[in-house]
Structure formats: C-alpha cells, structure tokens
C-alpha cells in the first residue's frame, strides 16, 4: 500500500483527507464537514451577487496527482448526480458522489499503448454529449472519443488532413451538436519539441455534427480552455502561454466559424506572482465567466470586467458547475477536488 504524502505546507485537516491507495485512489466519505482552503477575493461589489459573503472553498477529495476536466453528470434513473474528473498522470477518470466519496471510474482514460508515454498520458477535458455520454479529450491516444452505451469507446476525431492531432485538451458543444475543441501539445511526452508531433501549430477546431472537421484558428500559441457565451455568439478560448497568458473572445459566425479574436483579459503580469495559467472555464446562465488562471478562478462579467477571484493557493486547472440545481462550482486544483457555493447557475445544454 502506498500513501501519498502531504506537502509540508498542508494544514493538518487537509493532510488527514489524503487518500491512501493500493493501486489507485479511492475513499469512503461519511462527513459533510469538509476542510477548507484558500480565500475569496472581492474586487467589485457585484461579486457578492455571484459568490455569497461567507462562502468557502471546500476540499471534497484529495490525494491525486493532477486533477483536470471535471464534468457534472445529472441525476437520472434513480441514480444521484455525480462528478467525473480526470487524473492525467494516472491515466484515469474518477467519480465523486456526495456522501460516498471518490472511486475509480475509468482506466485507461487517455492512453492505450504498451510503452511509457510521458508524464501526462491520460484524458484531460470531459463533457457530455446530447445523449449524456462521456466525451473525452485524450492526450496519449491523441483523439476526442465518446464512451458508448455498451461501455466501449468510439473515436470522434484524431487527425487534421491526415496528420495526427497534438493532444486534444478541452472541448465544448454548441447546441446544434457541433463540437469545438483545442489542441495544444501538453500531452506529448516532450510537448512542443516531441518528434511524434505532426502538426506545426496548435489549433482550435470545430467538428460538425455531421463529422466535418474545420480548423478555426491556428494563431493561438497554446489554446487551452474553451467555452461559449449563453447566446453562443461568442467563443472564449484561454491561452496557457506564460509569455501571453490571456483569454480571447471570438465572434461566432452564422456558419459556425469564427471571426477575428480580441483579448478578453490579460493576466501575463500575474504569472510570476501566482500559481497557474489560464486554463479551463465555466460560463453561468447570466453570462458571467468563471476562468481558471494564475491564483485560482477569475470571475468576469460579460464585458470582461474582473469582479473577483476564488483563490485556492494552488495551480487550478479547471472548473464546472454542478449539484442538483447547477449552482455549485467544482474546481480541479492540483491534487484536490474542491467546491464553492455560488448564487448563479451554470449553462446546461
């Protein structure tokens, strides 16, 4: 048995939450008294309408290597809702259920080869299609896949014009069934300098519901998180380049392609001050954007005004709305899965 060691700075309450594992993390949970970390930083009074005063960042699961891609699966068929999330280095997807805890859901999750494939072989971003099936951005197998009803996987896309994708990172569905996704090099064993790389750019793509792949832009150096505004007229893309740590906003044309982008917010000056880079995003029904970046989750109004920050103190990779009414924001923050209660609700398509 192997027990993960807590970092030296970790409070005793969090250290106690670390998961002891035999092969993979698993945990029983019989408490609602979760430890907390970080702080909520309020820059504008409007922030109080989104994150209620006194709200805390709860740690609901811990002991992972690097958490990513959380997605909430709504209750159905008598089964309660639950959270799925990736642990990329472990090539696994885990399932967290309120009152039960975290358990292994899927392994392998992103790499099915027989030789070592570097530090981040597993899947990254997770989402649900219109049928409620799990769609994964797979690093090692360099594809976007769907988990079919019979338990097998089907490849949705793995190449552009015959050249293998780098390592699909994050994705979002438009209401018409078109899938938009990003393709940076982070899943390649040697990233951009890997000899396995076949494309000389990092793309943002649209896979139509009919299966046609379109390159939307190759101008972003490290496209990462991706999300739509509620009216689907704007596509937001995070760029996890420490030299240009920005979020871009692109107008969406009637044919599903995008126009010239603009910098929505620039956090480059925070890269050396705070942990993390622009990464995953979640958008509320009222248009507010919750975007992970240096120092936690940045919360913007639709015009790009920074209202506040949910500061975890950790490299925070992604976030998603969940819970029975979609008002709980779940965070993937390094080795932790956290949550915070909001006064808004996430988009559910």
> Please, what sign has the CA dihedral across residues 30, 36, 37, 39?
positive
Average pLDDT estimate for 299-310:
97
302 in any annotated domain: yes
Residue 334 lies in a domain: yes
CATH no. for residue 290?
A: 2.120.10.30
Which secondary structure element, helix H or strand E, spans residue 15, and what is its range?
A: helix 12-15
Across 102-121, average pLDDT: 96
Which of the residue ranges 26-35, 196-205, 271-280 would you say has the lowest mean pLDDT?
26-35
Cβ pair 133, 149 in contact under 8 A: yes
Residue 9 lies in a domain: no
- Assigned domain for 5 exists: no
Write the CA distances from 344 to 52, 125, 251, 252, 282, integer angstroms.
10, 23, 25, 25, 12
Is the confidence at residue 2, as pLDDT, over 50? no
Looking at the structure of the chain, the number of domains it has is 1
> What are the φ/ψ torsions at residue 316 (nearest 5 degrees)?
-105, 120
Is 7 a domain residue?
A: no
Q: How much of the chain exceeds pLDDT 70, in percent?
A: 91
206: helix, coil or strand?
A: strand
Token pair for 22: 């035999």
Lowest-pLDDT range, 17-31, 189-203, 230-244, 281-295? 17-31
Q: What is the pLDDT of residues 49-73, one digit of tens each?
A: 999 999 999 999 999 999 999 999 9
pLDDT computed for residue 349 by the predictor: 63
Give me the count of residues in the chain.
349
Nearest to 216 by CA among 187, 238, 183: 183
Close Cβ partners of 17 (under 8 Å, ≥ 6 residues apart): 34, 35, 59, 61, 62, 63
Over range 147-167, report the average pLDDT. Answer: 96
Structure tokens at 296: 């936690």
Distance CA 131, CA 57 (A): 32
- pTM (2 d.p.): 0.91
CA distance 223 to 203: 7
- 234 or 26, which is more confident: 234
The pLDDT of residue 133 is above 60: yes
pLDDT at 18 over 50: no
Q: How confident is the model at residue 34 (pLDDT cuts 50, 70, 90)?
A: confident
Tokens coding 339? 């949550």
- pLDDT score of 263 more than 50: yes
Residue 230 lies in a domain: yes
Average pLDDT, the chain: 91
Give domain status of residue 45, yes or no. Answer: yes
**pLDDT tier at 77, thresholds 50, 70, 90:** confident
Domain coverage including residue 312: 27-341
Evaluate if residue 6 carries a pLDDT over 50: no
Question: How many Cα neighbours within 13 Å face the side chain of 288?
Answer: 27
- Is residue 349, in this structure, part of any structural domain at all? no
Residue 2: how many CA atoms within 13 Å on its side-chain side?
7
């Amino acid at each position: 048995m192997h027990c993960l060691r807590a970092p030296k700075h970790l409070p005793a309450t969090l250290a106690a939450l670390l998961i002891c594992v035999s092969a993979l993390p698993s945990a029983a949970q019989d408490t609602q008294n979760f430890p907390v970390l970080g702080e909520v930083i309020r820059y504008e009074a409007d922030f109080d309408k989104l994150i209620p005063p006194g709200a805390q960042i709860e740690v609901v699961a811990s002991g992972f290597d690097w958490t990513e891609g959380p997605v909430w699966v709504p209750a159905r068929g008598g089964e309660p809702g639950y959270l799925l999330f990736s642990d990329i280095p472990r090539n696994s997807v885990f399932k967290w259920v309120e009152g039960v805890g975290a358990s292994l859901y899927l392994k392998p999750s992103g790499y099915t080869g027989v030789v070592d494939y570097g530090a981040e072989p597993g899947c990254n971003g997770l989402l649900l299609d219109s049928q409620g099936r799990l769609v994964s951005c797979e690093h090692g197998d360099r594809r976007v896949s769907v988990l079919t009803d019979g338990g097998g996987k089907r490849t949705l896309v793995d190449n552009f014009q015959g050249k293998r994708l780098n390592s699909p990172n994050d994705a979002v569905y438009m209401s018409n069934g078109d899938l938009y996704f990003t393709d940076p090099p982070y899943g390649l064993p040697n990233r951009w300098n890997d000899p396995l790389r076949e494309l000389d750019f990092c793309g943002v793509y649209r896979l139509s519901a009919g299966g046609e792949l379109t390159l939307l832009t190759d101008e972003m150096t490290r496209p990462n998180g991706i999300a739509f505004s509620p009216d689907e007229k704007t596509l937001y893309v995070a760029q996890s380049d420490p030299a240009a740590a920005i979020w871009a906003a692109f107008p969406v044309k009637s044919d599903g392609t995008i126009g010239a982008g603009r910098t929505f917010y620039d956090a480059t000056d925070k890269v050396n001050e705070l942990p993390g880079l622009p990464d995953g995003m979640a958008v509320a029904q009222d248009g507010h954007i919750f975007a992970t970046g240096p120092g936690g989750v940045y919360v913007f109004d639709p015009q790009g005004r920074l209202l506040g920050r949910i500061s975890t103190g950790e490299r925070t990779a992604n976030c998603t709305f969940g819970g029975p009414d979609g008002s709980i924001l779940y965070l993937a923050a390094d080795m932790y899965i956290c949550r915070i209660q909001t006064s808004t609700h996430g988009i559910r398509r």
